[in-house]
Structure 1
Amino acid sequence: MSFKEQIDTARLPKHVAIIMDGNGRWAKGKGKLRVFGHHNGVLSVRDVVEGAGELGIKYLTLYTFSAENWNRPKYEVTAIMELLISTINKEIKKLMESNVRLNTIGDIEMLPKKCYDELVSAMEKTAGNTGLVLTLALSYSSRREIVQAARAIAEKVEKGDLKVSDITEDLFAGHLHTAGMPDPELLIRTSGEYRISNYLLWQIAYAELYFTDKLWPDFRREDLYEAISDYQKRERRFGLTSEQVN
């Protein structure tokens, strides 16, 4: 029985987040430049997005480019930005056919203008789609996101638009980049690394974590199904006892 056949579609996680790690090591293992790994990683993105959509996942968020990634060699950053533009142009038709809505989180104003314009255009074109919401975390830093939210709330308090007593977890969450989205219930990281890397730190407070040794260019929809199958075998208690949950 395949992993897809093992999945109970009535108990799917609404939101799956993925740290797509291992492109560089995959390329190095083949005697290629890191950029080669990024190009092949796009094939994994395409397959996983299609698989998530077919399964009925509502939200899929991919850690595409972190704020720290700007510190990588200039040639690699440039290649990633060019790849992002070409990928958006190639995939927009497929996104429309699949009813996928493209979304972003992060400081996308830091992207090169051409990249920014293509991204905004693609989001506008897919804005009316009602299927899977595909969110790309670009120039994203969770710590920065949290600080920005705290600053925005503090400014509202300073102006008198909010009282300190108005500040709740829900209000704070509403000032994050992910406002309006459910928190991820499943976080997947590829490449055998066991860390969160400044990704959705507030949002994954109760997410199930799934780590795989597969490098991202080798990750496909069946691997996604395996992660979801594993997720469905876990007991999610949210601080309760097993007896209370059952």
Structure 2
Amino acid sequence: MNWHGVLAIYRFEMARFWRTLMQSFLSPVLSTSLYFVVFGSAIGSRIEEVEGIQYGAFIVPGLIMLSVMTQGISNASFGIYFPKFLGTIYELLSAPIDHREIVLGYVGAAATKSLFIGVVILGTAALFVDLPVAHPWAMILFMVLTSLSFALMGFIIGIWARSFEQLQLVPLLVVTPLVFLGGAFYSISMLPPIWQSITLFNPVVYLISGFRWSFFDAADVPIAISLGAIAGFTILCLVVIAWIFRTGWRIRS
């Protein structure tokens, strides 16, 4: 493993992040505060508790998952798309590093950035509501796995995209709706039985449910299934990336 090459890519991507640190810091703080004003105050005044949990605290895991997923995708997709756009990806492919080290550098940096945003939102939420953490190690595990898996997904999107518009297509039209429909701001037990069954086909349900369990020891689906879902998604992304580099799909063409 060429760790010098991995660190070079990682540091280059992180340097771009530190240059816009204030923007990266303020954006999640302001958006989280707005969510609490709209959902916590307006809706929370009508729904005081969900499954015995204060509504303002109940929506925190969903807010964190929303930001971690979208940030992981956007950072990884932009990171690998720019070398394609500028043509410098050929220099990267001809360097003495293999595809595993390229993926590790870009995905590692994207996952680090999304984890940072997740921690910022968690700290911001703690200013608004009393936020217990029943299983801190499980919370860390879910945040790391989610940021890693969606950074891998973002890497795939960056390879697939042919324009800047396509980079935003999946996060805006797929991931964000799945989060909103995946129990981020409500419990799926509140839905009619038929919609509960339909919702279980949404993979984001398992991520949010498992992450919420780490806070409140309450989940919509068994924790083992949540861990299996995110592990399966991570493996699927790794298989797709391995195929991309083996075939050169949209990299060498």
The two structures have a TM-score, normalised by structure 1, of: 0.28
Question: With CA pairs under 8 Å and 6+ residues apart, which has the higher RCO, 1 or 2?
Answer: 1
- Which has a greater percent of strand? 1
- TM-score (ref. length: structure 2): 0.27
The structure in which a higher percent of residues are helix is 2
